[in-house]
Amino acid sequence: MKPNIFLILLDSLRADTIFTKNKTCITPNLDHLISHGTSFTSAFSTADHTGISWLAILRAIFPSISNVNPYKFDSNIETFVEIFKENNFKTFCFFPDISFFNILSKKFDDSLIYEYSEREQYQKFKEKYFDELLKNIKLQNHSNSYFNCIHLMDLKYPYSIPKQFDNTNFGKNRQDRMLSYLDQKMGELIKSIDIENSIIIFSSDHGDYIPPTGKNLDEIPKIQEILKKGKNIVPSLEPLGIEVFKFLKKSNKSFNSLKSKNKFSDIQKRGFLNRNESYLFDDTINVPLIFSGKNIKNQKISTLVRHVDIMPTISKFLNLKFNDSKYDGKDISESFVGKTINELTAYFESGPANATLEGQVIGIRNSKFKYFRSRKDKKLNVNLYDLKNDKNEERNIAEIMPKIVIEMESELSKFFSPENEKNNLKRSINKKISKLKLD
């Protein structure tokens, strides 16, 4: 029987949070996964957006080719969930009650949707939801192999850190402290899994910017607490309170921006940026990727890989039947037994701020250079970074290295080329042929 697969994504976790030697979070359970599997330290998400990332993973197709918007898609879109089903796996997901996940969950045989959109309710019942997840895993029928997808939201701002973890013993910033707490929950989750007969794939949907002050520029916790109490006492005043709060947040952000102007270096100021904007630094797209399980070598690999490679890799490793020519993702499973793999080029894009917009930025990255620019105009917002000499992406060299810009733009265009359009058409035809065969 095939091993159970657990694809676990922890929202907003950066690679450098757990892979650097000087990390300040306390994560014995994640460390155990790292020391018992293959870790990719240069793995890249397809976007700084949850929905785009999940679709890229489960479809193994870049969004530049698939043209699927996470705000506008249906559960009939083909993913690797169907491939696992075709290979006699039962499928299960644990997702938050966000519209994108609600639709995606319909593809699975079983699902457990937890309330997250109402944050106060989530904080009140999150232990109960987590216990239900553990119970569901333990009850999975041992006569079947399972493909499990799990998305955990707790590392996403705003944090709700238990008091015993909210001190510098558990991390220099709030995200590190929150991760120290979440590592205990990861330990409970790992204990509920039959490790001898399972493979755990651990990653994140995207990273995040972490402010050097530990607080966002628009953060006003005291006002938030007052408004929360006021809402409970006089619910009818809540709409007015929200508008007042929006105004105060905007004013507070402007004031704090001026205060921090000369206080922090440019690289520190980056921590105050937001995702889904007109930039795409590695803070938001360099994510951890760990494969841990039987017959997977213990090693760290710095060769560049992508989210889209996850499903083709695990499917090849398990000898599942699927047509690998249909996908952008490549099989990197040879690395599990210590073989060298070729470096791949990562495509990425910024996420849409809402359902009516497209992400503002597109780009590519290899181990030498990173290039991104405006989605709509290749002459606007052109950024080029020499990653060998400027790993923090502090110096935009687009103007002084125009030849490299031209080369990178040519490489980027391949992700939107007529050949890719042709492949897209082939995928559509193959899907129709498969449907006809089934009929």
Residue 437 pLDDT > 50, yes or no? Answer: no
The more confidently predicted of residues 356 and 80 is 80
pLDDT of residue 426: 53
pLDDT of residue 46: 97
Query: Residue 376, CB half-sphere, CA atoms under 13 Å: how many?
Result: 5
Q: For 1-56, what is each residue's pLDDT tens digit? A: 899 999 999 999 999 999 998 999 999 999 999 999 999 999 999 999 999 999 99
Q: Give Dmax over CA atoms of the chain in angstroms.
A: 67
pLDDT of residue 51: 95
Residue 86 pLDDT > 70, yes or no? Answer: yes
Cα–Cα distances (Å) from 132 to 120, 129, 190, 194, 235, in that order, read: 19, 5, 14, 17, 32
Residue among 192, 194, 186 at smallest CA distance from 154: 186
pLDDT of residue 236: 60
pLDDT of residue 227: 52
Tokens of 49: 């957006």
What percentage of the chain has pLDDT greater than the value 90? 71
Instruction: Give the pLDDT mean for 347-351.
Output: 96
Q: What is the mean pLDDT of the chain?
A: 88
pTM, 2 dp: 0.87
pLDDT class for 350, splitting at 50, 70, 90? very high
Residues 6+ apart with CB under 8 A from 336: 38, 291, 295, 296, 297, 317
Report which DSSP code applies to 271.
Answer: G
Mean pLDDT is lowest, of 11-25, 69-83, 159-173, for 69-83
Strand partners, 348: 363
The more confidently predicted of residues 136 and 228 is 136
Question: What residue has token string 């290039």?
Answer: 371
Cα–Cα distances (Å) from 8 to 77, 305, 323, in that order, read: 21, 18, 25
pLDDT of residue 245: 46
Burial of residue 143 (number of CB atoms within 10 Å: 0-12, 13-18, 19+): exposed
What distance in Å separates the CA atoms of residue 155 and residue 259, rounded to the nearest whole number? 27
Q: For 292-324, what is each residue's pLDDT tens digit? A: 998 899 999 999 999 999 999 999 999 999 999
Residue 113 pLDDT > 70, yes or no? Answer: yes
Residue 257 pLDDT > 80, yes or no? Answer: no
What distance in Å separates the CA atoms of residue 83 and residue 58, rounded to the nearest whole number? 10
Residue among 179, 227, 219, 184 at smallest CA distance from 14: 179
Instruction: Give the pLDDT mean for 167-179.
Output: 95
pLDDT class for 263, splitting at 50, 70, 90? confident
